[in-house]
Amino acid sequence: AKGQGKGRQVGYDPVMDQRTADLARLAADLRIALDTDQLYLHYQPIVSMPGGELFGVEALVRWTHPERGPVGPAVFIPAAERTGLIVPLGAWILEEACEQAVRWCDELGEGAPRTVTVNVSARQLREAGFAADVDAVLRRTGLAPHVLTVEVTETAVFDGGTALEELRAIAALGVKIALDDFGTGHSSLGLLRTCPADILKVDKSFVDDIVTGGHEAVVAAALIRICDGMNLRAVAEGVETADQAAELYRLGYRYAQGYYYARPMPPEAIATYRPAAAKQ
Ligand code: C2E
Ligand code: CA
Ligand code: CA
Ligand code: CA
C-alpha cells in the first residue's frame, strides 16, 4: 500500500518524503524504531553456481512500523542518510550482523555462511574513525575479520574526504570489501585501480536483459573477464530466472544472488537453506 499517492495516511511516500515535514516525521519514527526493537535483519543467500549452494549472505535491514506495517529500506535508508541517522542505525546493523555471524559459526561450523556482507552507506564511510569502529565491533563480537564483507557503492567511495582511507584501513583488518551495484556509477573502472576491492556485485540492470542479448549481456561478459583478470570475485545480482542463471554461468559467473535462488530470510532460515533440487 506504500507509494500509492495518498502518502501521508497510507505510508511514507518515497517521493513525498523529500518534503521536510514528511522527512522529519520519518526520521523521528526511525529514531524511535531504533530504540524499541522495530528493526531487524533479514539475510539473502549468495550462492555458488550452478548448484545454488550457500556461499555467503547479505544482511538487509527490515522495519515493521507499529501502525504503518513494513517500510522498505529503499524508503527509509535514504531518509536516514539525509538526516544522519544512518550513523547510529548503521552501527546497530553492523553489530547485529556480526553477532549473528558468530552464532552461525558456532552453531553450523562448516555449514556457516563463509561471508556475511553488511551494506555501508557513504555517510558512514565518511565518518572519521569508521574503520576503528569496525575493528571494535570485531573485537567485541569475536568475529574473525575474514568472515565480514563490507559492501559499499562506488559513489560512496568517490564521495571524497577520507572514504578511501577508511576503506583501506578496513581492508587492512582482513575484512573483505565488495563494490555494490557495480557498473551503474560514473567511474567504475577507474575505481578498480585505487580501491581495495575483493568482490564486485554486478548490478541487476546488467542481469535483467542478459538473455535477450542486448548491450547488458556485453557488459556482463566484459565484467566477468575483468574480474577474472584482476582476481576479483564477481557476484551477479538480482538473478530471477533459470535462463539468466544459465547464461551467467556460460559467461563464466560462479556466484549469484537473486530471487531465483532465494529471497532475503530470517537468520534461523539460513541454517536450513538448501538449493532447490532443480538447481543441483
Ligand atoms: P542492495 O544493497 O542493492 O540490495 C539488494 C536489493 O535487491 C534488496 O532489496 C534485495 O531484497 C533485492 N533483491 C535481491 N534479489 C532480487 C531479485 O532477484 N529481484 C529483485 N527485484 N530484487 C532483488 P531491499 O532489501 O529492499 O534493499 C534495497 C536497498 O536498500 C539495498 O539495495 C540497499 O541499497 C539498501 N539497504 C538495505 N539494507 C541496508 C542496510 O542494512 N544498510 C544500508 N546502508 N543500506 C541497506
Ligand atoms: Ca548491497
Ligand atoms: Ca546491489
Ligand atoms: Ca541497489
> What integer pLDDT is reported at residue 183 of this predicted model?
87
> What integer pLDDT is reported at residue 213 of this predicted model?
79
Closest CA to 119 of 260, 221, 237, 274: 237
Nearest CA to ligand 1 atom 3: 181
> What integer pLDDT is reported at residue 158 of this predicted model?
78
> What integer pLDDT is reported at residue 4 of this predicted model?
45
Indicate whether residue 259 lines ligand 1 (CB < 6 A): yes
Cell numbers for 278, please give them.
532443480
Residue owning grid cell 556482463: 220
The atom number, within ligand 1, closest to the CA of 201 reads 3
Pairwise CA distance, residues 131 & 170, whole Å: 5
Nearest CA to ligand 1 atom 37: 60
Indicate whether residue 195 lines ligand 1 (CB < 6 A): no
> What integer pLDDT is reported at residue 133 of this predicted model?
97
pLDDT string in tens for the chain (280-residue length): 344 444 444 467 666 545 677 888 888 999 999 999 999 999 999 999 999 999 999 999 999 999 989 999 999 999 999 999 999 999 999 999 999 999 999 999 999 999 999 999 999 999 989 999 999 999 999 999 999 999 999 888 877 778 999 999 999 999 999 999 998 887 778 888 888 999 999 999 999 989 987 888 999 999 999 999 999 999 999 999 999 999 999 999 999 999 999 999 999 999 999 998 767 5
Nearest CA to ligand 1 atom 10: 264
Contacts 24+ apart (CB under 8 A), 240-247: 241/211, 242/278, 243/211, 244/207, 244/208, 244/210, 244/211, 245/49, 245/50, 245/279, 246/50, 247/210, 247/211, 247/217
